[in-house]
Amino acid sequence: MTIPRRSWRGAGAFAAAAVVGLAGGVISAAPAAAHTPTWVVTCSDVSVDLTAYSSDVANTVTVSVVGGKELLPATTFGREFHTKTPLQLPAHDKELTIRLVVKAGDGEKFSRDETKQAPVCKDSTPSPTPTEAKPTEPPATQTPEPSATPSETATETAPAPAEPSPSAPDLAETGSSSATPVIGGAAIAVLLAGGGILWSVRKRRSAQH
């Protein structure tokens, strides 16, 4: 069986068209899958993941707070860029505007300049509810229970009476000094002498009259 040359030419043309169409589809689909910037903003940090960029040119990425701190200075990367640790946001009591700038070295159409809002972090731990202070009641006095066995009290030994010193003079049984009789005798003698003198004076006066 002989196949005409026209049939071979038609089949070759059809195959060539299919290859060209497939190549064109791959080429047209490549830019859609390339240059993929992904970044996430929370109330406390920012994470950046840039993939499918050209490694033949220099690409740069910058992250900053609009009107404030620069979180990531201009950094050059190749095919990919990932933040190893999230970029920490400064403490804030109102929303912050975060800006991402990606400059692709293979065309301005692949560059990005985007902004996102960082909300205020809410404290996850609720504040404790104040409790009313109750008046302190005095502790109830407890009556001590009688001991089963009486406690032993140490009896103090009365001190022994001091013995009189052998050199001290003996005292009378009445407790008075031994010089008391002598003083009493001298007083009686003085009284008798005075009475005698008074008697002689009266006698002389009566004799003169």
The tens-digit pLDDT sequence of the chain (209 residues) is: 454 555 545 555 544 444 444 444 434 444 445 788 999 999 999 999 999 999 999 999 999 999 999 999 999 999 999 999 999 999 999 999 999 999 999 999 999 999 999 999 987 554 566 666 666 666 666 665 655 555 554 445 555 555 555 554 554 455 555 666 667 777 788 788 887 788 777 777 777 65
Question: What's the rounded Cα separation, in Å, for the pair 36 and 48?
Answer: 11
Contact 93, 124 (CB under 8 A): no
* DSSP bridge pairs for 48: 39
Residue 56: per-residue pLDDT: 93
Entry pTM: 0.46
Residue with tokens 């059809």: 14
Question: What's the rounded Cα separation, in Å, for the pair 133 and 199?
Answer: 104
Residue 171: per-residue pLDDT: 47
Instruction: Give the residue from 100, 99, 101, 106 showing the smallest Cα distance to 79.
Output: 106
Residue 153: per-residue pLDDT: 47
What amino acid is encoded at 63 in this protein? Answer: V
- Give the DSSP H/E element, type plus range, for residue 206: helix 180-208
Residue 147: per-residue pLDDT: 57
- Cβ neighbours for 117, distance < 8 A, ≥ 6 positions apart: 41, 95, 96, 97, 98
- The pairs formed by 197-200 with CB atoms below 8 angstroms and a separation of 24 or more are none
The region, left, alpha or beta by phi > 0 then psi within -120 to 50, assigned to residue 70 is beta
Contact 119, 97 (CB under 8 A): no
